[in-house]
């Protein structure tokens, strides 16, 4: 273990102050000369045929610059859902037309002048109903693929099941026969929104050459570039996407509901166009997490060893087909050695808001089922739930349900850490109180990232990255740079470039940005160090291998007075060196996994009069590989737990006839500080194989166990097993009353 | 000579359309949320003591956010002139205070509320008078340095001479004795403005951490960073300077009259501040070219060989000391072999607008004197003026007056080219018509520049530079990239990054940007090619040396069917390569000269009734080393000649009591298209030693000969030698009448 000066330290976030003081610039803060404003006409119905669409009155309104309908879409790719409804609307809130006008009021007025006749169809709003043979078919083109083992078959009958997979191994029936106990339960989770701070917005300018410049919230500027270029049918390098600050994203800003249409408006009008969603639009017009239904049958011996699992996952993906629950089944079922497994997966379309990714997509839902079942098994076998898990937990050499063999992982270490924590903690006393534990697993992604390091004339160092900073990675990457040069953090600038100025970085998603970028940045720093060493050696008149470099200073070995500083070399490089400015590049790619595990503990109190669940304390343990900046990691863990508690206890997309009934933050309640306890964090550092620091991802694992942790704690407090989210006072009270 | 596909071709400027359609964004086009507006209070007097300065009423005005006077300046460096007058004003238009208010009208009103009492002093407005022992002393601190040979002496008596140098070699007296003819004349040039399109402006934001972001017109963002950091007393990496488009600069935008003060206003108020000069402010508050006085004694044998030159250069640098005429003497006197030389240089302060650089600073003025004298010598000796010059012209191995030995240069080739052109041209017929020729020399600078090349996922290539594009170098550098990869120009993006995102680039000045950047870009492309070759070799399963690369395609030698495209490799690099994104870096530094020579020919007609000079035709020949893009080079040459004709015939800073009388484009007349003939260009390509293409600089040499060329042509047309600029109808008519 090397001794670090900057890594592993609690550096404050570089963006904290500008965000806390309201000075950071978000998309809606940007303006351009001659800018006009775009607004969206949305369907009031969840399912309807468009029989007439007349934009002539809107187009004739003074101040209206353009009206665009599906007829104007340039987009050719058949794989992405249309951004504007054509012939038929399939969810309430679906965009039907967009308008650009010289001010937002005229744009709004123009929306009212667009005449749409709808022939209302019966909406499909329940996934189980939607799967039935006699269900109303939303997309007659969908002929379900069945993927069974290695077989793929395309069906012939129209269906609302957009994706169906069956897989497994071993002999499940035999496994259940060998079990001393078999539990079968069905778990249900609700649609929830990512709940970021600012609503989706975009500003697009198209110059006379056709180059498109976009300011928008996104988890990856390069992806926005690709999506918009595809939509506009132009090459990606004709699109430039600018970085903006973001008030959270959590998977919700991978999709781009506005930018392509806004770009089309800008291209049509020759004017910069800004579009900003209202909060209601953001709820109904973006991509929340799907509602899910998981039936899980689990068998175990009385010694507490799992013998078989069969699972059926049904994902209500909303109005557009998505392949979404397969990954959920893998990350949900790979924590324990399961000798026999059978999985059936169904992604189902309904006439509800189309869904997308939300922090560890599918994993929290799967863990709600799996970790609830494990808890029930432990109870039935009267085993300590952590002991039960330790007995079955995977470790290096075991394989996940998709066959991937685990490299070095820290699941057992994390379970152990939580066990130690529980042993020494002060237990909650009193009636109606209980504790629950649950675990989470996330594979983590890798992918292509690059970094560019420039040495400034005063010896300060600037790092240019193309990846988005969602979680504070500008700060942790600054620490990586500081460590390489031994110079203080105030001499490091980390800047998110745009798609033209920055080197490529993949999507900030999948808990991978810092893990990949720390490697790329390290490599770029090595290039810079090589150049510095060369220059130092020529300046000091010695060979490179006679030099040491520490704390921003080169020194000739054995001659402590013969030194030259990074600062002096930097000055020389721009003032008189033949070689010129010192810069370095580093890239990383590939797909080496660095799996992550988390173990959570909650202590709750249930008010039996009102059904209200109060979370008394919460502790999240997680293997982070190596904590470059513990404060940032803890912040992510605390944020994720907060979100998970919201999902467990409060949040819900309430639909009636496919129309969301609560598209605002009064009726869709997210937890605030008063709803949450202080969230303790325990960092476990089992180095991954990711060079040079052994970091793992962080962002997603702390969301995964929360739903089950709270459910398990409620069981502990009340003896009641809740299998449906959210566990609001009403549902808890109803369960109490029904018992 | 390699055969090029993209280099040497007439690619259209990438920025042409957005500028021509008014869509390009200049500084004043940028806005930020909560932005406020800055205005400057300027001295109405050229020379006065400030006896009272009371800002209390201005500060009390509602809507005023800050008022700053010299008392608030943080600036510590004694070497730069103060941005706000302290105790004393030394030129009319000198900033005394700046105000920031919530709108420009309130800011303007606040200026009127600032109470300043002046004790008016007698202004020093003539350089010759200023040099006299009994002159009013502007800066009592100036004790003239005398630099004579290698001796440096600091004087004891206060003086308006801020810089005095004497140098030379050989025996001038003997040289004149050996001459068959000696001519002595004094030439006078006037103050002229660079006359760029948009007035100086700036927008500055300071975030809560103190990071300063600046949008401003500048020839070098990194220099603005340095100036503002110095002024604000913060490290350079706490300042970020953003690129903007510019409507020309010509040396005028090296200084930053607004940005430091605007940054101070922004820091004080915590709000973004915008300042935009009026045209009048731009004339009196920026840095025009100095008025000059050159006395030149030249001796030659009757065979036409120069024997000796003695020169006295007096530069009226305006209100602040500058060392400005030394370079003028070098570039003015180094075109010909001068066996004996004596030079006296005086930079003199006066109470006039402080001066700065204007396209080939000093060189055009020096050439006006030198090339007029050469013309007079040729006439006296009845020699063809080009033949005279060919006889004396320097070539490789000769040395400049500063001792620098010329590498390979193309002066004689350019003279020859003009000779050939004259031989075949159609001569102007008619009365009062005449032709003139003159030459120019510019050393050209080098300096530190870097480039960053990123390969996009679709095989397009983005080049990131930190240097400003004043002359179209984004286009020529795109050609360099296209040539390296053999891909078409529409696949190349060249982007000017800001000081945080871009690698360092030195000032775009001194005719060096394309010459240095073409090397840096070439090197960056080589790094990229190396990585592409590695990836291609692993993809095709062959060794690197078995591959050829042409037209964006790798091919295995001898196996024409075994290929992989740049596009495919680019996709692999971001989708599945372990090495990740492909990027490359290139730097260049040092100070290798690539001297440039130009030879001009003008044909004029003089209206003897009105004195009006009409330029009938104009031809500019120049050694450009290698013309990466002939169209852009010709454009620069034509633009410079246009400016030179303005200086020769029209433009003039008219002062009365040190107050400029014509600070607007009606009274300060610049040439328009109707004043100019079509300007022919002749490109000579004598490769310089600059790897890999042998380019030379372009921007400055075509300005240098114009003043003398026109004067020589007027002599030819009228028999009159005009030695003072501008040669307006009034002065020409007066000369005619006086004869």
Tell me the pLDDT tens digit for each residue of B343-399. 999 999 999 999 999 999 999 999 999 999 999 999 999 999 999 999 999 999 999
**ipTM tops 0.90:** yes
Give the pLDDT score at B81: 75
Q: Which residues of chain B have a CB within 8 Å of the CB of A458?
A: 235-237
Read off the pLDDT band of A286 (50, 70, 90): very high
Contact in structure between B434 and B713 (CB atoms under 8 Å) = yes
Tokens of A334: 């790979």
Give the pLDDT score at B647: 98
**Overall average pLDDT of the A474-500 stretch:** 97
List the strands of the sheet with B48-54, edge to edge.
B88-89, B48-54, B115-120
In angstroms, the Cα distances linking B426 to B422, B438, B616 are 8, 19, 12
CB distance B501–A506 less than 8 Å? no
Put simply, whether A589 touches B (Cβ < 8 Å) is yes
Give the distance, in angstroms, between the CA of residue B384 and the centroid of all CA atoms in the same chain: 32
Chain B residue with the nearest C-alpha to that of A580: B589
Q: Look up tokens 């990869």; give the residue.
A: B485
Q: Is the pLDDT of residue A66 over 80?
A: yes
Read off the pLDDT band of A25 (50, 70, 90): very high
Give the pLDDT score at A308: 98
Give the pLDDT score at B152: 67
Backbone angles phi, psi at A365, to 5 degrees: -65, -45
Chain B residue with the nearest C-alpha to that of A492: B237
Q: Is the pLDDT of residue A80 over 70?
A: no
Task: Decide yes or no: CATH 3.40.720.10 for domain B291-444+593-738.
Answer: no
Q: Treating both helix axes as pointing N-terminal to C-terminal, what angle do B325-333 and B363-381 enclose, rounded to 10 degrees?
A: 30
Query: Which of B276, B388, B417, B295 lies closest to B345 in space, CA to CA?
Result: B295
CB distance A237–B458 less than 8 Å? yes
Read off the pLDDT band of A79 (50, 70, 90): very low
Q: Which residues of chain B have a CB within 8 Å of the CB of A589?
A: 573-574, 576-581
d(CA A21, CA A318): 38
| The dihedral formed by the CA atoms of A686, A692, A697 and A699, expressed in degrees to the nearest 10 | 110
- Convert the pLDDT of each residue in A568-578 to its tens digit: 999 999 998 89
Residues facing residue A599 across a β-bridge: A439, A621
CB distance A14–B588 less than 8 Å? no
Tell me chain B's radius of gyration from C-alpha atoms. Answer: 27
| The dihedral formed by the CA atoms of B569, B571, B575 and B579, expressed in degrees to the nearest 10 | 30
Query: How many angstroms away from the CA of B475 is the closest CA of chain A?
Result: 14
Number of Cβ pairs closer than 8 Å across A and B?
193
Tokens of B118: 């002046």
**Overall average pLDDT of the A442-457 stretch:** 95
Q: CATH 3.30.365.10 in chain B: give the residue spans.
A: 16-23+446-588, 291-444+593-738
Put simply, whether A92 touches B (Cβ < 8 Å) is no
- Which CATH number is B31-122+200-276 given? 3.90.1170.50
- Convert the pLDDT of each residue in B405-418 to its tens digit: 999 999 999 999 99
Put simply, whether A22 touches B (Cβ < 8 Å) is no
Put simply, whether A587 touches B (Cβ < 8 Å) is yes
Q: CATH 3.90.1170.50 in chain B: give the residue spans.
A: 31-122+200-276
> Strand, coil or helix: what is A131?
helix
Give the distance, in angstroms, between the CA of residue A708 and the centroid of all CA atoms in the same chain: 19
- Convert the pLDDT of each residue in B712-723 to its tens digit: 999 999 999 999
Lowest-pLDDT range of A319-323, A684-688, B623-627: A319-323
| Percent of the residues in chain A that have a pLDDT greater than 90, as a whole number | 90
Question: Which H helix or E strand runs over A450?
Answer: strand A449-455
Task: Give the one of A33, A237, A588 whose C-beta lies nearest to B460's C-beta.
Answer: A237
Task: Give the one of B23, B501, B578 whose C-beta lies nearest to A589's C-beta.
Answer: B578
Put simply, whether B21 touches A (Cβ < 8 Å) is yes
Q: A550: alpha, beta or left, given left = phi > 0 and alpha = psi -120 to 50?
A: beta
Give the distance, in angstroms, between the CA of residue B639 and the centroid of all CA atoms in the same chain: 13
CB distance B21–A208 less than 8 Å? yes
d(CA B317, CA B323): 9
Look at the domain B16-23+446-588 and name its fold.
Answer: Aldehyde Oxidoreductase; domain 4 (3.30.365)
Contact in structure between A264 and A72 (CB atoms under 8 Å) = yes
Put simply, whether A23 touches B (Cβ < 8 Å) is yes
Question: In whole numbers, what is the pLDDT of chain B averaged over residues?
Answer: 95
Give the pLDDT score at A564: 98
Query: How many angstroms away from the CA of A32 is the closest CA of chain B?
Result: 7
Residue A280: which residues within 8 A CB-CB, separation 6 or more?
A663, A664
Q: Is the pLDDT of residue A708 over 80?
A: yes
CB distance A208–B587 less than 8 Å? no
CB distance B589–A578 less than 8 Å? yes
d(CA B603, CA A203): 54
CB distance B460–A236 less than 8 Å? yes
Give the pLDDT score at A151: 67
d(CA B370, CA B367): 5
Q: Please list, residue by residue across B357-379, b when 16 or more beta carbons sit within 10 angstroms of its beta carbon and e when fewer do.
A: bbbbbbbbbbbbbbbbbbbbbbb
CB distance B589–A573 less than 8 Å? yes
For chain A, positions 293-332, list CB contacts with chain B under 8 A.
Answer: none
CB distance B576–A591 less than 8 Å? yes
Query: How many angstroms away from the CA of A476 is the closest CA of chain B?
Result: 18
Q: Is the pLDDT of residue B678 over 70?
A: yes
> CB-hemisphere CA count at 13 Å for A566?
25
Give the pLDDT score at A144: 78
Give the pLDDT score at B511: 87
- Convert the pLDDT of each residue in A614-629 to its tens digit: 999 999 999 999 999 9
| DSSP conformation letters of B504-530 | PB--S-SS-HHHHHHHHHHHHHHHHHH
Q: Which residues of chain B have a CB within 8 Å of the CB of A209?
A: 14, 17-18
With vertex at residue B417, the alpha carbon angle to CA B413 and CA B418, rounded to the nearest 5 degrees, is 120
Put simply, whether B610 touches A (Cβ < 8 Å) is no
d(CA B218, CA A604): 62
**Overall average pLDDT of the B35-40 stretch:** 98
Read off the pLDDT band of B463 (50, 70, 90): very high
Put simply, whether A649 touches B (Cβ < 8 Å) is no
- Is A405 exposed, middle or buried, given 0-12, 13-18 or 19+ CB atoms closer than 10 A? exposed
> Strand, coil or helix: what is B602?
strand
d(CA A631, CA B605): 79
Q: Which residues of chain B have a CB within 8 Å of the CB of A513?
A: none
Chain A residue with the nearest C-alpha to that of B589: A580
For chain A, positions 527-546, list CB contacts with chain B under 8 A.
Answer: 527
In angstroms, the Cα distances linking A694 to A478, A516, B616 are 17, 11, 75
With vertex at residue A595, the alpha carbon angle to CA A594 and CA A596, rounded to the nearest 5 degrees, is 120
Query: Which of A267, A224, A262 lies closest to A242 in space, CA to CA?
Result: A224
Tokens of B649: 């015939």
Tokens of B481: 């990239």
- Convert the pLDDT of each residue in B287-346 to its tens digit: 999 999 999 999 999 999 999 999 999 999 999 998 889 999 999 999 999 999 999 999
Q: B636: alpha, beta or left, given left = phi > 0 and alpha = psi -120 to 50?
A: alpha
Q: What is the DSSP letter of A336?
A: B
Read off the pLDDT band of A76 (50, 70, 90): low
Put simply, whether B403 touches A (Cβ < 8 Å) is no
Task: Give the one of B236, B490, B590 whose C-beta lies nearest to A458's C-beta.
Answer: B236
Query: How many angstroms away from the CA of B5 is the closest CA of chain A?
Result: 22
Chain A interface disruption, residue of B17, B269, B581, most A CBs within 10 A? B581
Q: Is the pLDDT of residue B77 over 60?
A: no
Task: Give the one of B29, B497, B576 whose C-beta lies nearest to A33's C-beta.
Answer: B29
Put simply, whether A526 touches B (Cβ < 8 Å) is no
- Neighbouring C-beta atoms of residue A538, cutoff 10 Å: 14
Q: What is the DSSP letter of B353?
A: P
Give the pLDDT score at B78: 45
CB distance A500–B464 less than 8 Å? yes
d(CA A97, CA A107): 12
Put simply, whether A574 touches B (Cβ < 8 Å) is yes
Residue B724: which residues within 8 A CB-CB, separation 6 or more?
B187, B188, B189, B731
In angstroms, the Cα distances linking A667 to A124, A220, A671, A724, B356 are 24, 31, 12, 19, 65
Read off the pLDDT band of A78 (50, 70, 90): very low
Q: What is the DSSP letter of A408?
A: S
Residues facing residue A182 across a β-bridge: A299
Query: How many angstroms away from the CA of B499 is the closest CA of chain A?
Result: 9
Q: Which residues of chain A have a CB within 8 Å of the CB of B491?
A: 235, 237
Q: Which residues of chain B have a CB within 8 Å of the CB of A588?
A: 579-580
Query: How many angstroms away from the CA of A575 is the closest CA of chain B?
Result: 7
- Convert the pLDDT of each residue in B586-621 to its tens digit: 999 998 889 999 999 999 999 999 999 999 999 999
Tell me chain A's radius of gyration from C-alpha atoms. Answer: 27
CB distance A580–B14 less than 8 Å? no
Put simply, whether B272 touches A (Cβ < 8 Å) is no
Read off the pLDDT band of B510 (50, 70, 90): confident
CB distance A503–B454 less than 8 Å? yes
For chain A, positions 418-457, list CB contacts with chain B under 8 A.
Answer: 448-450, 452, 454, 456-457
- Convert the pLDDT of each residue in A136-179 to its tens digit: 999 998 887 767 666 666 777 899 999 999 999 999 999 999 99
Give the pLDDT score at A73: 67
Cα four-point dihedral sign A99, A103, A104, A109: negative
Q: Which residues of chain B have a CB within 8 Å of the CB of A207?
A: 17-18, 23-24
Query: Which of A250, A284, A247 lies closest to A667 in space, CA to CA?
Result: A284
Give the pLDDT score at B79: 42
Q: Is the pLDDT of residue A455 over 60?
A: yes
Chain A residue with the nearest C-alpha to that of B208: A18
pTM of the model: 0.96
d(CA B309, CA B330): 13
d(CA A304, CA A180): 9
Residue A654: which residues within 8 A CB-CB, separation 6 or more?
A660, A661, A662, A667, A668
Read off the pLDDT band of B535 (50, 70, 90): very high
Question: In whole numbers, what is the pLDDT of chain A averaged over residues?
Answer: 95
Task: Give the one of A20, A31, A222 whose C-beta lies nearest to B31's C-beta.
Answer: A31
CB distance B580–A520 less than 8 Å? yes
Chain B residue with the nearest C-alpha to that of A517: B580
Chain B interface disruption, residue of A203, A240, A504, A575, most B CBs within 10 A? A504
List the strands of the sheet with A583-588, edge to edge.
A492-496, A461-465, A449-455, A583-588
Query: How many angstroms away from the CA of B25 is the closest CA of chain A?
Result: 9
């Amino acid at each position: 273990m090397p001794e670090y000066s900057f890594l592993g330290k609690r550096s404050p976030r570089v963006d904290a102050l500008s965000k806390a003081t309201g000075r950071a610039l978000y998309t809606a803060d940007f303006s351009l000369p001659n800018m006009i404003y775009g607004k969206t006409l949305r369907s009031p119905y969840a399912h309807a045929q468009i029989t007439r669409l007349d934009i002539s009155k809107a187009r004739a309104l003074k101040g209206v610059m353009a009206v665009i309908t599906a007829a104007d879409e340039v987009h050719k790719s058949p794989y992405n859902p249309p951004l504007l409804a054509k012939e038929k609307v399939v969810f309430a809130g679906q965009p039907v037309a967009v308008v650009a006008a010289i001010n937002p009021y005229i744009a709004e007025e123009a929306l009212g002048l667009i005449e749409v006749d709808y022939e209302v169809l019966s909406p499909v709003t329940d996934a189980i109903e939607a799967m039935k043979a006699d269900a109303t078919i939303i997309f007659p083109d969908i002929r379900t693929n069945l993927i069974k083992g290695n077989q793929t078959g395309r069906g012939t009958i129209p269906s609302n099941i957009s994706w169906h997979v069956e897989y497994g191994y071993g002999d499940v029936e035999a496994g259940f026969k060998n079990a001393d106990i078999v539990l079968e339960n069905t778990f249900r989770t609700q649609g929830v929104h990512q709940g970021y701070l600012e609503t989706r917005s975009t500003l697009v300018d198209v110059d006379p050459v056709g180059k498109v410049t976009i300011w928008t919230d996104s988890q990856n500027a390069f992806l926005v570039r690709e999506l918009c270029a595809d939509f506009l049918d132009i090459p990606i390098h004709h699109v430039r996407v600018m970085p903006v600050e973001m008030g959270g994203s959590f998977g919700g800003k991978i999709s781009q509901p506005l930018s392509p249409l806004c770009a089309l408006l800008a291209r049509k009008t020759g004017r910069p166009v800004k579009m900003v969603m209202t909060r209601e639009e953001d709820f109904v017009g973006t991509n929340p997490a799907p509602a899910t239904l998981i039936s899980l049958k689990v068998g175990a011996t009385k010694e507490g060893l799992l013998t078989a699992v069969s699972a059926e996952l049904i994902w209500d993906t909303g109005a557009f087909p998505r392949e979404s629950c397969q990954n959920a089944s893998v990350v949900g079922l790979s924590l324990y050695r399961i000798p026999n497994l059978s999985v059936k997966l169904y992604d189902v379309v309904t006439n509800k808001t189309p869904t997308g990714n939300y922090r560890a997509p599918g994993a929290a839902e799967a863990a709600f089922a799996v970790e609830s079942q494990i808890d029930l098994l432990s109870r039935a076998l009267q085993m300590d739930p952590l002991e039960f898990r330790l007995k079955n937990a995977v470790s290096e050499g075991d394989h996940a349900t998709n066959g991937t063999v685990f490299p070095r992982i820290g699941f057992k270490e994390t379970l152990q850490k939580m066990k130690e924590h529980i042993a020494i903690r002060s237990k909650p006393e009193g009636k109606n109180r209980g504790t629950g534990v649950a675990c989470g697993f996330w594979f983590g992604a890798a992918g292509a990232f690059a970094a560019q390091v420039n040495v400034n004339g005063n010896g300060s160092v600037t790092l240019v990255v193309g990846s988005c900073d969602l979680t504070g990675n500008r700060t942790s990457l600054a620490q990586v740079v500081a460590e390489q040069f031994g110079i203080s953090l105030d001499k490091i600038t980390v800047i998110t470039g745009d798609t033209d100025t920055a080197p490529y970085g993949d999507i900030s998603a999948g808990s991978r940005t810092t893990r990949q970028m720390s490697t790329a940045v390290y490599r770029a720093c090595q290039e810079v160090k090589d150049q510095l060493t060369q220059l130092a050696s020529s300046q000091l008149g010695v060979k490179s291998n006679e030099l040491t470099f520490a704390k921003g200073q080169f020194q000739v070995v054995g001659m402590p007075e013969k030194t030259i500083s990074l600062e002096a070399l930097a000055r020389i490089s721009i003032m008189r060196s033949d070689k010129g400015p010192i810069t370095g590049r580093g890239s990383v790619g590939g797909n080496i996994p660095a799996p992550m595990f988390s173990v959570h503990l909650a202590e709750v109190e249930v008010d039996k009069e009102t059904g209200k669940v109060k979370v008394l304390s919460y502790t999240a343990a997680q293997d982070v590989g190596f904590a470059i900046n513990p404060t940032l990691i803890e912040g992510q863990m605390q944020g994720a737990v907060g979100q998970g508690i919201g999902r467990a206890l409060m949040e819900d997309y309430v639909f009636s006839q496919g129309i969301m009934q609560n598209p605002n933050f009064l009726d869709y309640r997210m937890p605030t500080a008063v709803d949450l306890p202080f969230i303790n964090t325990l960092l476990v550092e089992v180095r991954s194989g990711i060079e040079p620091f052994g970091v793992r991802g962080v962002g997603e694992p702390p969301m995964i166990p929360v739903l089950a942790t709270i459910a398990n704690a409620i069981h502990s407090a009340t003896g009641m097993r809740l299998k449906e989210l959210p566990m609001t006072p009403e549902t808890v009270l109803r369960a109490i009353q029904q018992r």
